[in-house]
Structure 1
């Protein structure tokens, strides 16, 4: 097999699977809408099942549903036939995946699930299959051909099932009004949770760690305060403790370009007035957006009286996992 044949084979697979996904638009019909309404109005869980490669796709669909607001989990049909059927209740909705619609382990479950009172949604590649005909709803995930040249390995069919499952999960997400904060609640241990749940208050420096000098401070005092607090800046406050300006490492470099001696330079002449600030109760990710939009590395957190109650820089956001 030549090098060019490798690329030709790979592109053929992609084109076949691309066509399989494109053809799914025909599956988004009134039946799909009824399935969404049924799941939204249900009081139980969506239990997803499937054997072999369909089982792997079913497991992923269950995980996606669960993380986007639809209580769901995966049950192996073989295990269900040997005791795990006790996980099902009459209020549950079963989403069963089988490309052929004739998977023995799933068909064995059908009469038991119907007796229990579960609503059954079949996702198959054959609308006339036993599973499709004996289910309450059917999602058509049929494909014209598999990407496997032997027509044996599930390829295009599993891709189609995965995309159709994603379409179902995201549609339900939008219908529920599921938010980024809701999503983060199911991902508290990962970077998603840190990005979406941490507020600016959680990571800002407070109290004595805030670099501040008064308006009458000398340039030397401002530099010492910057060095001591290590945030690459210091705030300048008036007699009422309100922030009137900010002096940064960049401002210090500009001081060196001045003609007069540094000892004669007033901090109020070199500080930046009306500096960019943030609030303590907003998400840290929002503060990051502010800093990136304004192309700044540090800023102060103010209260409603325009008084500094915190300070942070990009390193703080990095350490917190927000970046």
Structure 2
């Protein structure tokens, strides 16, 4: 029975072998890789990724990565393709076929049909002289000299290499397309990632009627009442047109109390902070959160292009929206 040291040693050996397989890919990436990218960029339809067994699992992931990074793609099971799913592939598409040996029967069966459609075929194999590699328009080496499996049988290093090469292909295409964060957000509208990329300040800020505000001539007592009523730990100080003149926060109050002011006589404009940090309603909520963290504040005033106050975004609202 393996002891703990042997288990750890096995894990480290596997990781080292797979690192080596991935590192060896670099010397195989060259002109053919670039030409394959150009062909995929020219594709008018979708990129169909296929593979059998463990290569099929990797192919499925590559298709998902391509689709989420600007290259329309989907996975087709090669065995199912021979029984009807071949109709999912059109002459406007391109195909990426994975097979470590390059001789997988279910994949090779598709070759005459793909040639008849005259689609671009990119093969990812570990055998340059294989039938699949020879039939492809572009062959990308995605193999490994030795599998991490001690029997050199279970696909391990080779599938890791294929996965990494697929990521390299997807990212190269992403950069070539000029794929942006907004494009990425469109493909990822759900979950925390979507919220970070799509949510804007206008979606989480307090409505205009809930914004604490006082006139510059208001007393400290009146400002405190406004802060308490609106519950945001601060108040804006605005002129008659609604333009922001300053902000009075809990921090300003603590500093003011050291001088023991008369709360019923001291005007708020003598205690407020000017030149505060503001955001527009179109600012990404994640960006607003970053500004709060950088300046160690809990609220940001939202202004329009004329400097008029239209809302307040509070840290608690961002937390409730799942941004932290």
| Alignment TM-score, normalising by the size of structure 1 | 0.96
Looking at structure 2, the residues matched to 254 and 150 of structure 1 have their Cα atoms a distance apart, in angstroms, of: 72
Aligned to 2:214: 213
Q: Give 1:107 deviation, angstroms.
A: 0.7
Q: CA deviation at 1:88?
A: 0.4
User: Corresponding residue for 1:41?
Assistant: 42
Q: Distance in 2 between matches of 1:228 and 1:262?
A: 17
Tell me, yes or no, if the aligned pair for 2:219 and 2:263 is still in contact at 8 Å.
no
| Displacement after TM superposition at 1:260 (Å) | 4.1
Write the deviation string for residues 58-93 of structure 1: whole angstroms up to 9, x where unpaired.
001000000111010001111111110010001111
2:143 and 2:3 map into 1 onto residues whose CA distance is: 33
Instruction: Answer yes or no: is the 8 Å Cα contact 2:125–2:133 preserved in 1.
Output: yes
Q: Is the 8 A contact 1:255 1:262 kept in 2?
A: no
Equivalent position of 1:238 in the other structure: 239
CA distance in 2, matches of 1:4, 1:264: 75
- In the alignment, what sits opposite 1:182? 183
Query: In terms of mean alpha carbon deviation, does 276-285 or 306-315 score higher?
Result: 276-285
1:132 deviation in Å? Answer: 0.7
For the residue of structure 2 that corresponds to 1:178, the secondary structure is: coil
In structure 2, the partner of 1:258 is: 259
Partner of 1:124: 125
Find the counterpart in structure 1 of residue 26 from structure 2. Answer: 25
Name the counterpart of 2:156: 155
By how many angstroms is 1:216 displaced? 1.5
Give the equivalent residue in structure 2 for 1:228.
229
Structure 1 residue 264, shift from structure 2 partner: 4.5
Cα RMSD after superposing both structures: 1.4
Does 1:300 pair with 2:301? yes
Q: Would the alpha carbon gap of residues 42 and 15 (structure 1) be closer, same or farther in structure 2, given more than 3 Å must change?
A: same
Deviation at 1:306, TM superposition (A): 1.2
- Counting matched residue pairs gives 323
CA distance in structure 1 between the aligned counterparts of 2:192 and 2:120, rounded to whole angstroms: 36
Change (3 A) 1:83 1:190: same
Gaps of 5+ in 2: none
Residues 25-46 of structure 1: CA deviation (Å, up to 9, x unaligned): 0221110010010011111110
Whole-angstrom distance in 2 between the partners of 1:259 and 1:194 = 45
2:58 corresponds in structure 1 to 57
TM-score using structure 2 length: 0.96
SS in 2 for 1:300: strand
Q: Secondary structure at the match of 1:301?
A: strand
